Amino acid sequence: MSSPETIEQEQAVIQTSPNIEFWKQVGFVTGATLISITMLATSVMTGGLFGLAIRFGNLPQLKQIQNFVPAETTYIYDIKGKLLAGIHGEANRKIVPLDQISPNLKRAVLASEDNYFYNHQGIDPGGIGRAAVVNWAAGAVQEGGSTITMQLAKNIFLSRERALTRKIAEAILAIRLEQIFRKDQILEMYLNQVYWGHNNYGVETAAQSYFDKSAKNLTLGESAMMAALIQAPEQFSPFVNKNLAIQKQRQVLRRMLELKWITKQEYDNALKQEIKLGKIKSFEASIFPNVTNPVAQELIQRFGRDATVKGGMRVQTTVASDLQIMAEETIKKWHKTFKNQGLKNNQMALVAIDPRTHFVKALVGGVDSKKSEFNRVTQAQRQPGSAFKPFVYYTAFASGKFTPSTTVLDTPVTYPDVMDGSYSPRNYDNTFRGAMSIRTALALSRNVPAVKIGKTVGINKIIATCRLLGIMSPMEAVTSLPLGAIGVTPLELTSAYATFASYGWRSPPTLIARVSDSSGNVLLDNTPKPQLVLDPWASASIIDVMRSAVNKGTGRGAALNRPVAGKTGTTSSEKDIWFIGTVPQLTTAIWVGRDDNKQLAYGATGGGMVTPIWRDFMNKALKDVPVENFKPPSAFTRPQQIKNIKKTH
C-alpha cells in the first residue's frame, strides 16, 4: 500500500473534484435542478438500499468479502530469476500494491471512472443524478452512475446481466465494501481486478502488454490511454485501432485538465508523447517448454490445477538459462547433422544435473517441443544397455569382495533360464578375450564379465542398489539384467550417475528449487538435503573405473581437457544409444533413438555417435568452470573385505 504521505498528497489533488458550482458554471443544469436530483437520488439510494438489503440476503457476506482472493497468474523463473513462462486460466493477472502503480494512472482512472471516489461512501447519488441529466440531454447513454466501488463489487461478485436488481445489488455490496476496506485498499483492489483487454486482468499485466513496462513506470500519456480502455477494452485497444485509442486518450486527458488534476503544460506534453506499444503477452509461449511443461505438471500434482492456474505462485526452477540454451542448440545441431547423414526419424534427449545438489541444470526432452510435447527425459523408459553396468560393478565393490583390479574371465558361459531353458551371454563383437580386470571389462564394455559378476553378487542386490539410487522403473531379477535389459528414464539414469559423482550422497533430482505465493510465503523448499545412500569407497571406485572407460575405452570420444568419468550404452539392434558422463560439477546424459523403437542405423553405438554430442555440449557448458579432480578411492575407507579378494570369476 502507499505511504500515508503519498496518499495524502494524491487525495489533495483528487479532492479538487467538481462541486455544484462547477456543474452550474459549465452550464449542464441549474443549481436548483441538480440539488433536487441529488436529494432525490440520495433518499432513494441510501435510505432505500438498507431496506432492500433484507431482500438480497443471498449476497456475499462480510467474511466472504474479507477473504476474497482474485485469480492470479503463476510465474515460472530460472535459477537466477529470469521469467520463463506464466501459467493462468482466463485471468492473466499479477497483483501489485498501490504504491507500485503510477500516480498518473491512478488519477487518470479516477478522472475517467469516478472523480468523487474519495468523497462518497460507495454510491454517489449526485453522480447518478449528473449522469441522468447528461444522458437525458444527449438522448443516449454517455455517462454511467456506477462508482469504482460499485464496479469492483460487480467484477468480483456479480454477473454481467443488465438488470435493475443487479444495480441494486451493486450498490448494497459497494456500501459493504466501503465499511470493510479503506479507500486506498478499494482502489488497489479495483486496479488489480479490472479487465484491460486481451486477457489482461489487473494493471500490471496490462502495462506489460501494452507498453512493455511495469505499471509503476507509466507516463501520463500511457496512463490516459490505459484508463480509456476500461469502458470497452478490446474496442479501444491500440492493438486493434490505434487512432481510436488516441482519441479516447485525449478525452481522458481533457477530463483531467478540466478537473485541474494536471496543468496545461502536462496536458500538451502528454499529447505530444510518442506511444510505443509492446505486444500481447497473455498467451505468449514459454521460453523453455521442455522445462516449464514438466514443472507445471508437478505443480498440478502437488497443489492442484486451480492453485496452479489461479494461485499466483512464484516458481524458481533449478535450470540455468545459459546451459538450457546450449543444450537446446546442441540437440538441434546434431539432429540436423544426423538427418543430413541419412539417419531419419531420430529423436534425442539431454539432461544435465549438478551432482552436488541434484538440481537439474538443463533438460531437452526431444528435438522439437513444438511438434511433440512428449518429454523423453522424464517420460520415456528406454533400455540403457551397457550404461547399466556401473550399477553391477558398484554392487560388487560395495560387497567388499571385489576391487577394480579383481580378475574376471571373459569366457563362454551358460545359465539356466526359466523362459528359454538356458541363457548364454555374448559380447558385442561376438568374441571372448579371456582373463581381464574389472577395470578393463568395464572400459571395453564386455558383456560376459558383467553377467558373471552380476550372478556372483546377486541380481536382487543389484536391483536394491538401483532403488537406493532412485531408479524406480520396473525390474525383473533375470540373468540378463546386468546388460540393461530394462526400461529407465534418462532422468533416473543421470541422477544415479550424479550420486556416484558425489561419492554416495544423494538428494532427489528436481526441476523446482522453491515455490512461494505472491506474498512471498514459501510453499515448497527443495533446498538439497543430501543423504548418504551408497558406500563412498565403492562410489569413488566406480568413478575411477569409468574414468578408464573415457581415457582408453569405449568412451574415448568424450574426453575433455579435464577428468571425466562416464559410460557408453548400446542396446541390441541399435535401438538405443547413450553416453552418460560426469565431471565433479556436472553430470550429463544424452540418449539417441526412435520413438517407434526401430533400429537407428546398422553399427550405431554410443561410443561412436553420442560421445561427440556430449563433448560438444560439455565443452561449452564448462567453459568458465574450474577444472576439478575426482577424489581417489584411497580417500575413503574400504568396505570390510573377505578372504580371496583376488579370486578369479
Bridge partners (DSSP) of residue 359 are 354, 510
Please tell me what DSSP assigns to residue 387.
G
Q: How far is CA 147 from CA 69, 75, 177, in A?
A: 21, 32, 12
Secondary structure class of 315 (helix, strand, coil): strand
Grid look-up 462508482 returns 147
Catalytic residue among 10, 72, 113, 574: 113
Copy the grid coordinates of residue 344: 531419419
Q: How far apart are CA 87 and CA 72, in angstroms?
A: 9
Long-range contacts of 27-36 (CB under 8 A, 24+ apart): 28/130, 28/133, 28/134, 28/137, 29/133, 33/133, 34/126, 34/129, 34/130, 34/133
Please tell me what DSSP assigns to residue 639.
P
Contact 512, 524 (CB under 8 A): yes
Secondary structure class of 560 (helix, strand, coil): strand
Q: How far apart are CA 378 and CA 492, in angstroms?
A: 8
Grid look-up 484491460 returns 196
Stretch (H or E) spanning 348:
strand 347-354
Copy the grid coordinates of residue 202: 489487473
Grid look-up 547413450 returns 578
Extract the runs of DSSP E, i.e. beta strands, from 428-535: 434-437, 505-506, 512-516, 522-525, 531-532
Q: Confirm whether 5 is a catalytic residue.
A: no
Contact 358, 506 (CB under 8 A): yes
Residues across the chain: 649
Catalytic residue among 321, 369, 386, 495: 386
Grid look-up 456500501 returns 175
Question: Residue 633: which residues within 8 A CB-CB, separation 6 or more?
Answer: 404, 537, 540, 541, 544
Extract the runs of DSSP E, i.e. beta strands, from 356-468: 359-364, 407-410, 415-417, 421-423, 434-437
**Of 601, 600, 562, 605, which Cα lies nearest the Cα of 581?**
562
Secondary structure class of 139 (helix, strand, coil): coil
Q: Confirm whether 113 is a catalytic residue.
A: yes
Contact 600, 343 (CB under 8 A): yes
Copy the grid coordinates of residue 98: 498501490
CA neighbours closer than 13 Å in the CB half-sphere of residue 113: 28
Question: Residue 53: which residues within 8 A CB-CB, separation 6 or more?
Answer: 59, 172
Catalytic residues: 113, 386
